[in-house]
Structure formats: structure tokens, C-alpha cells
A and B are shown apart, each in its own frame.
Chain A
Amino acid sequence: GAGVSQSPSNKVTEKGKDVELRCDPISGHTALYWYRQSLGQGLEFLIYFQGNSAPDKSGLPSDRFSAERTGGSVSTLTIQRTQQEDSAVYLCASSVRQGLDTEAFFGQGTRLTVV
């Protein structure tokens, strides 16, 4: 596809279960970001991947959160033992390279609801 694709678009899970959120960036984009958007709040940075460099995980809120990027393309954000406070929209973005002068293109997000 032409844009950033995220799946699933919606996910309802029970508290304590693990979930995986997927992001397919734009082909050829080396930089990939995950953000979280909670109700009434702005976007919160979670993690950043750039090429083969070690990711910047400084935004992950707890050790229940992890992410990987395989082959420099698809990324998966995993939340273990989900809690109700994890309910949010998780947004993925990619850009052609590192640098704020390059536009980051956002996917439509995955809305996670923990019940």
C-alpha cells in the first residue's frame, strides 16, 4: 500500500492478556515510530527505530511493553499482561530517514480497549 498500515484497527482484550499490534511502514522508510494517544491527551512517544541502530526505547512506560522491527520493515508492539490503563490508540509512523526535516507519515492507529 501507499501509506502506513496498522492492524488490527480495533482490539478488545481482557485484562491480563497479551496483545500484539502490527505496523507496516511505507516501503523504503528507514525510520519507524510508535506513539500512544490516550483519551484527552496528546501523543506520547513510545519507541523509535532507525535502520540497524539500537532502538530508542525511552518512552516505553513499563517492562510490559516491547517492540521489535524485523528486517528493517514490519514492526510489532507487544503489551504483556494488559492493564486497563493501557487502553489507548496506538499510532505508528514512518519517515524516509532520520531527521525532523523529513515528514513522518502516520497510520490510522490501533484502538486498544482493555476490559
Chain B
Amino acid sequence: AQSVTQPDIHITVSEGASLELRCNYSYGATPYLFWYVQSPGQGLQLLLKYFSGDTLVQGIKGFEAEFKRSQSSFNLRKPSVHWSDAAEYFCAVGTNDYKLSFGAGTTVTVRA
């Protein structure tokens, strides 16, 4: 069965520092991978996705993610976080042509 693991429940980072959120997946076929962000009181917003091709994917808001097949990972990074990046982040894998399987999420706190 497919699954997504986000090992970090909560991360605190200083404004201006770099951020990396970990995501590991278990899926038999070539995965479709996604990162979503959920700000307080808001719905989920797609940050980026990987289907094929270049393993380094650029997204919105200055985020990027790298697909590493050998490690079954799809980690999200941002070089310099802003206070507005405080939110909950979800990694997801597409398990067919419409269904997503989500990780439990990582909450990011940004301190001044």
C-alpha cells in the first residue's frame, strides 16, 4: 500500500533562515508527488508537484523540492523563510489518476 511519511511534526525556524521539510513515500510505481501548504483558517494550496523529468522542481513562493528515487524522498526547501511561511505543510503522493494520499503534515513556526 502507498504511504507518505513526514518525520517532523513541528519545525521552528528563524526568519531569514533556510527551511527543509522531509517527506518519504512508499509507492510501487513511479510516483506523482505534491507539496501543499495550509495557512491557518485556509484551504490547502498547491506549492509544487513532480511527475517526471527534472528531479528538482520549482514552485510558488520561492519553494523547491527534489525527488530522489534512491531515497524515496521528496524534500521541500526554501533558502530564506518569511514570517508568512508559518503554516502547515503536507506532502502527498498520487495513487491513481485522481486520488491523493497525504502525510500527517509538518507545522512550521517562524520566529522573528
Residues of chain A at the chain B interface (Cβ within 8 Å): 3-4, 31, 33, 35, 40-45, 48, 50, 56, 91, 93, 98-101, 103-109
In whole angstroms, what is the CA distance A45 to B41 when docked? Answer: 20
In whole angstroms, what is the CA distance A98 to B99 when docked? Answer: 10
Closest B-chain residue to A3, C-beta based? B43
A-B contact count (CB 8 A): 60
B83 at the A/B interface (Cβ < 8 Å)?
no
In whole angstroms, what is the CA distance A105 to B42 when docked? Answer: 12
Q: Which has the most chain A C-beta neighbours within 10 Å: B6, B36, B49, B99?
A: B99
* Interface residues of B, dominant DSSP: strand
Chain B contact residue count (CB 8 A cutoff)? 25
Closest B-chain residue to A99, C-beta based? B97
Within 8 A of A (CB), among B67-95: 90, 92, 94
Residues of chain B at the chain A interface (Cβ within 8 Å): 4, 6, 32, 34, 36, 41-46, 49, 51, 90, 92, 94, 97-105
Closest A-chain residue to B97, C-beta based? A99
Closest A-chain residue to B9, C-beta based? A40
Closest A-chain residue to B32, C-beta based? A100
Assess the A33–B104 pair: CB atoms within 8 A: no
In whole angstroms, what is the CA distance A19 to B46 when docked? Answer: 29
In whole angstroms, what is the CA distance A3 to B43 when docked? Answer: 10
In whole angstroms, what is the CA distance A43 to B104 when docked? Answer: 7
Given the known inter-chain contacts A106-B43, A108-B43, please indicate yes or no for A100 contacting B104, CB distance below 8 A. Answer: no
